[in-house]
Structure 1
Amino acid sequence: MKIKVDQIEFNILIDEKNYKEEKTPIIFLHGFTGCAEDWLFIFDKLPSEYYPIAIDLIGHGLTDSPDDPNYYTCRAIVNQLNYIFESLKIHKLILCGYSMGGRAALSYCLHYPQKIIASIFESTTAGIEDITIKKERVISDFLLAEKIREEGIESFIDYWMNNPLFKTQKEIPEYELIKKKKYKNSVIGLSNLLMGFSTGLMPSYWDKINQLEFPVLLITGSLDEKYTSISKRMKEKLKNAEHKIAESCGHNVHLEKPDVFIKFVLDFLNNKKRKQYELQLD
Structure 2
Amino acid sequence: MTSIRGQNIHYQVVNPEAKTTIVFLHGFTGSTKTWESTEQWISKKYRMISIDLIGHGLTDSPYSVEAYSMDEQVELLREFFEARRIYTCTLVGYSMGGRVALAFAIRYPDKVKKLVLESASPGLKTEDERRTRIKNDRQLAERIEKDGVEAFVNYWENIPLFESQKHLPADIKQQVRDERLNQSPVGLANSLRGMGTGKQSSYWHELKHFQKPVVMLTGELDRKFIQKAIEMKEEFPICEHHIVPAVGHAIHVENPQIFATIIKEHLEDE
* TM-score normalized by the length of structure 2: 0.96
| Residue of structure 2 in register with 1:34 after alignment | 30
Structure 2 residue aligned with 1:84, among 80, 89, 92? 80
Counterpart of 2:141 in structure 1 is 145
Match status 1:135 vs 2:131? yes
8 Å CA contact retained: 2:31, 2:179: no
Distance 1:83 1:260 in 2: 32
User: Offset of 1:248 from its aligned partner?
Assistant: 1.4
| 1:211 CA displacement | 1.1
Q: Match of 1:237?
A: 235
Distance 1:23 1:44, change over 3 A: farther
CA-based RMSD of the aligned residues comes to 1.2
Shift in Å, 1:130: 1.2
**1:205 Cα offset (Å):** 0.7
Q: Which residue of 1 aligns with 2:222?
A: 224
Task: Please name the residue that 2:5 is paired with.
Answer: 6
Equivalent residue, structure 2, for 1:53? 49
Q: Deviations for 1:120-171, whole angstroms, at most 9, x for unmatched residues?
A: 0000001101111110000000000000000000000111111100011111
1:203-218 matches, cutoff 5 A: 203-218=201-216
Paired residue for 1:113? 109
**Runs of 5+ consecutive residues of structure 2 not aligned to the other structure:** none
3-state SS of 1:213 partner? coil
Task: List aligned pairs for 1:59-208, cutoff 5 A.
Answer: 59-173=55-169, 174-208=172-206
Normalising by structure 1, what TM-score? 0.92
SS of the residue corresponding to residue 192 of structure 2 reads helix
TM superposition shift of 1:182? 1.1
* Structure 1 partner of 2:268: 270
| Secondary structure, counterpart of 1:126 in structure 2 | coil
Q: Is the 8 A contact 2:25 2:52 kept in 1?
A: yes
Letter in 2 for 1:177: Q
> Once the 2 structures are TM-superposed, how far is the Cα of residue 263 of structure 1 from its aligned partner?
1.7
- Conserved in 1, the CA contact under 8 Å of 2:31 and 2:52? yes
What is the rounded CA distance, in whole Å, between the counterparts of 1:57 and 1:269 in structure 2? 24
Measured after TM superposition, the shift of residue 44 of structure 1 is: 3.7
The residue type equivalent to 1:8 in the other structure is Q
Runs of 4+ in 1 over 6 A off after TM superposition: none
The Cα of 1:237 is off from its aligned counterpart by 0.7
Q: Aligned letter for 1:19?
A: P
Q: In terms of mean alpha carbon deviation, does 101-110 or 261-270 score higher?
A: 261-270
> Are the aligned partners of 2:98 and 2:119 in contact in 1 as well (CA < 8 Å)?
yes
- For CA contacts below 8 A with separation 6 or more, give which structure has more relative contact order: 2
Task: Give the C-alpha shift of residue 13 in structure 1.
Answer: 0.3
The change in CA–CA distance for 1:49 and 1:214 in structure 2 (over 3 A counts) is farther
Aligned-pair distance for 1:80? 0.8
- The percent of aligned pairs where both chains have the same amino acid is 36
Shift of 1:55: 0.2
Q: Which moved more, 1:108-117 or 1:170-179?
A: 170-179
Residue deviations 1:8-48, cap 9 Å, x none? 10101014xx423x712100000000111111122243234
